[in-house]
Amino acid sequence: MDLKLKKMIKEGRLFYLIADNQKNDTYYEYYEYPNFKQTPIIETVCYKTIGNELLKAYKNRDYTSQSFRSLLFLLHGIIIDGNVIDIASSKELADLIDNIRYRDLYNVINSFRKKLSIEVLEFFKNKILEIEVIALSNITQTLFNQFCNAINYTKDKNSLFKEVLFLAISNEYNRAYLKVLNKEQEILDYEEKVKANPEIEDEFDTTDEDNK
């Protein structure tokens, strides 16, 4: 097969297309790379890795989705959940991210659960992203250097480490963001209801059960 990997941005989301070189506008499958704006360096590495494996694997055999997903996992540890790429699972990144998430910054990252507004969440996230690798454990520094070597990266390592930090905090941050957003929407909805019906008793409970 004559396959190649192509990028497509649609509605602010980045997709990788398993495209057919001999048939214009034909593709067999797509994968989404999330948070590409926050991790442009790592995204470039991911795209190159997947593209190279696609070219090598299907020169002399037919493409199948399951075989390619299995290949990416076996060779690189890259998990594709549904159609979403989990680059944090890759062999080069997994230990580094886990060490930051569950050792160096465990309590800090868990603190996302206690933030009560979008503004506070954003401020807290940005403060975490300012942390430099030298402020963390020797293990993290070693793993980060190994990652840089594995991808042959010699440019701005502070920018690359910021992307690693983003991947380490993204799950907790996203959960907290949705929770706070929903709570704020409840408050706004209630305020609108009160404006329309001033006699409504104050039955809205803003207690955060998770923080009791």
User: Would you call 38 helix, strand, or coil by DSSP?
Assistant: coil
- 70: its two tokens: 């299995």
Whole-number average pLDDT of the chain: 89
In this structure, what token pair is assigned to residue 24?
């214009």
Domain ranges of the chain: 3-87, 94-211
pLDDT in tens, 160-211: 999 999 999 999 999 999 999 887 666 666 566 666 676 655 554 555 555 5
| CB environment 127-137: b (16+ within 10 A), e (fewer) | ebeebebeebe
pLDDT tens by residue, 129-171: 999 999 999 999 999 999 999 999 999 999 999 999 999 999 9
Q: Are the CB atoms for 22 and 2 separated by under 8 Å?
A: yes
Place of tokens 């506008």: 25
| DSSP letters for 188-207 | HHHHHHHHH-TT--------
In the structure encoding, which two tokens stand for residue 104, read together? 């160096």
Q: List the beta bridge partners of residue 16.
A: 7, 31
Q: What is the pTM of this model?
A: 0.85
At residue 128, does pLDDT exceed 90? Answer: yes
% of the chain at pLDDT higher than 90: 73
Q: What is the pLDDT of residues 24-38, one digit of tens each?
A: 778 899 999 999 999
Question: pLDDT category, 115, cuts 50, 70, 90?
Answer: confident
